[in-house]
Amino acid sequence: MQITFIGGGNMATAIIGGLHQQGGHQIHVVDPNAAKLAELTRDFGVSTSSGLPEQLSADDIVLLAVKPQQLKEVCQALAPRLNGGMVLSIAAGIRCDAMARWLGSERIVRVMPNTPAMVGKGVSGLYAASGASAADRDHAETIMQAAGITVWLDKEEGIDDITCVSGSGPAYVFYFIESMIEAAEQAGFAADEARRLVLATFDGAVELARQSPLPVATLRTNVMSKGGTTERAIGRFEAEGVKAAIIAGAMDCRDRSIEMGQQLSQD
C-alpha cells in the first residue's frame, strides 16, 4: 500500500513501526518537526516532507494522525489534493460526517486505537463511513493490525463505546498499577522492586485470565479464602465502592467522548 501519514507522533510511529515489520508498503510522513522526520527516516526508511503532497491518487491511503483541534484545517487543505483517495483517521472525537464535509469525500474509516499499539499490543475499534468500500475496510484492517488487534463497529456510536473500554482503558490499568506500586512501597519494598513485583503480578494475572476458561470473577474468588488476607482486601475495595467507581468512570469517559465529538465536529 501507498500510505501517507499526516502527523508523525507516538501513535503514528507505532503504526509505522508495525507496517515496517509487515514490509512491502510505501510510506510517506508529513510533519513540521524536522527532527521527528529524520528519526522516522533513520528507523523505518520512510520518505518525509514538512508540507502536504501536491497531489495524491485514488490508490493512496491518507492516515490522519493530528490533534483533533487541527483536523478541520488539515482536511480542508487536503481536499483539493485528495483525488478520491481513502482517508483513515485516528483523531479522537471527529465524526465521519464532519470529515466528509471538510474533505469533500465519504471514503473514510475512523479508528480509535490505544497506546499499547506502541508495543504491538494495541486494540483498535474501526468504523467505515458509507463511502468506504470492502477493499478500503481490508486496507484499514491491515494497517491497524500492524499495531495489535482490530474490532469492527457496526455504528459510529460504537467509537464512543470502545473509547471508554479500550481507548482510555490503559489509563485505568496504569492507575491501578500505580496504586499497587505505592502499596508495595508502603509494605517496605524499594521502588524498583515494587515496580518489578507489581508488573509481574499483572502480567501473570492477565495471562491466567487469557488461558483459563473460567470467568474472571471465578478466578478472583479462587484466590480468596474465608476470613483470609485476600478477602480482607476485596472487602475494603467493595466497601469503598471501587468497582462501582471504575464502571461509573468508564461511563463518564463515554459521555465525554460523545460531548467532544459533538463539539469538535461542528463547522
**Residues annotated in the binding site for NADP(+), as ranges?**
6-11, 65-68
**Strands 108-112 and 122-128, how do they pair?**
antiparallel
- Set of cell numbers at residue 263: 463539539
| Element at 148 (helix H, strand E) | strand 148-152
Q: How far apart are CA 116 and CA 118, in angstroms?
A: 5
Sign of dihedral through CA atoms 154, 159, 160, 164?
A: positive
- Complete DSSP assignment for 148-177: EEEEE-SSTTHHHHHIIIIISHHHHHHHHH
Q: Can you tell me the distance from the alpha carbon of 89 to that of 63, in angstroms, rounded to the nearest whole number? A: 6
**Using CA atoms, how far apart are residues 60 and 252, in angstroms rounded to an integer?**
37
Binding residue positions: 6-11, 65-68
C-alpha cell at 110: 475512523
